[in-house]
């Protein structure tokens, strides 16, 4: 984290210097979407398996094929940016991604974990290779919610919300370097840090009519994640 802050402080003076010659500056609007590469889903899946939860079985014609525990959606990201001359840029990004994990335990039954992460990034960066490539870093704010529920019970789902300050690093390629429309590709690493999600406790009545408590200990897990984004943009 200290290294990222130091890089951020180095890049921003370059951006300010670039503003002194803004003959080729422009505003830009971007829309990206892309696959989630690594992070929270795999951490939660490991946690569920360590407590006896296994993937559901299914498949066509009763083949009993294992259904993946983690189901993910693509990351959606909208950005507003300002580019100065051929050197500096700042970018305000809004993104969201969500997913679901489902498992079954012979002792505790079914468990679903639904999660959603919303992020706001403020990145400062520099252009490379005649404005076709860029590197950017900056602070970020994350709003996270994780909902635990048991799909075949009438229990109210347990929802936990977390807010976190973090950092993001981005590397991107853009083409063509001039013109109204452009295609954009970027790789982002979102440094959220660890969050203690605690324990999800469900009370239910068993077959004998006795009240029992089913616990799932989510524990402290890293919410850092890596994404690959593809998108389009408009120069204004």
Quick: pLDDT tens for 204-225: 777 777 777 888 888 888 889 8
- The per-residue pLDDT for 58 is 60
| Number of structural domains found in the chain | 1
CB 90 within 8 A of CB 15: yes
Q: Does residue 140 fall inside a structural domain?
A: no
Q: Binning pLDDT at 50, 70 and 90, where does residue 60 land?
A: low
Q: Does residue 29 fall inside a structural domain?
A: no
Helix (H) or strand (E) holding 136: strand 133-149
DSSP 179: S
Alpha-carbon distance of 185 to 134, in angstroms, equals 10
Q: Does residue 145 fall inside a structural domain?
A: no
Q: Does residue 184 fall inside a structural domain?
A: yes
State what percent of residues in the chain have pLDDT above 70: 82
What are the angstrom distances between the C-alpha of 227 and each of 17, 27, 224? 31, 24, 10
CA-angle at 75, arms to 125 and 32, nearest 5°: 55
Q: Binning pLDDT at 50, 70 and 90, where does residue 16 land?
A: very low
Q: Does residue 224 fall inside a structural domain?
A: yes
State what percent of residues in the chain have pLDDT above 90: 37
Q: Is the pTM of this model over 0.85?
A: no
Q: Does residue 202 fall inside a structural domain?
A: yes
Q: Does residue 164 fall inside a structural domain?
A: yes
Residues spanned by the domain of 211: 2-15+37-130+151-235
Name the least confident of 17-31, 38-52, 98-112, 204-218. Answer: 17-31
Helix (H) or strand (E) holding 119: strand 109-128
Q: Does residue 9 fall inside a structural domain?
A: yes
């Amino acid at each position: 984290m200290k290294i990222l802050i130091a890089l951020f402080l180095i890049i921003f003076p370059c951006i300010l210097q670039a503003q002194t010659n803004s003959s080729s500056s422009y505003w830009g609007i971007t829309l990206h979407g892309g696959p989630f590469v690594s992070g929270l889903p795999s951490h939660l899946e490991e946690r569920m398996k360590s407590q006896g939860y296994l993937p559901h079985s299914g498949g066509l014609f009763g083949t009993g094929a294992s259904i993946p525990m983690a189901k993910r959606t693509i990351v959606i990201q909208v950005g507003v940016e300002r580019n100065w001359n051929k050197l500096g840029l700042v970018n305000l990004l809004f993104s969201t991604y969500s997913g679901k994990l489902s498992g079954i335990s012979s002792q505790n039954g079914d468990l679903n974990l639904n999660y959603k992460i919303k992020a706001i990034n403020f990145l400062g960066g520099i252009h490379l290779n005649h404005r076709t490539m860029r590197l950017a870093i900056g602070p970020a704010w994350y709003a996270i919610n994780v909902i635990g529920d048991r799909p075949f019970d009438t229990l109210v789902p347990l929802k936990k919300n977390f807010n976190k300050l973090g950092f993001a690093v981005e590397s991107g390629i853009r083409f063509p370097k001039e013109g109204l429309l452009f295609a954009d590709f970027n790789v982002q690493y979102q440094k959220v840090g660890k969050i203690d999600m605690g324990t999800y406790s469900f009370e239910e009545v068993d077959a004998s009519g006795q009240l029992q408590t089913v616990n799932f200990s989510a524990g402290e897990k890293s919410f850092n994640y890596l994404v690959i984004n593809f998108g389009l943009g408009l120069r204004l």
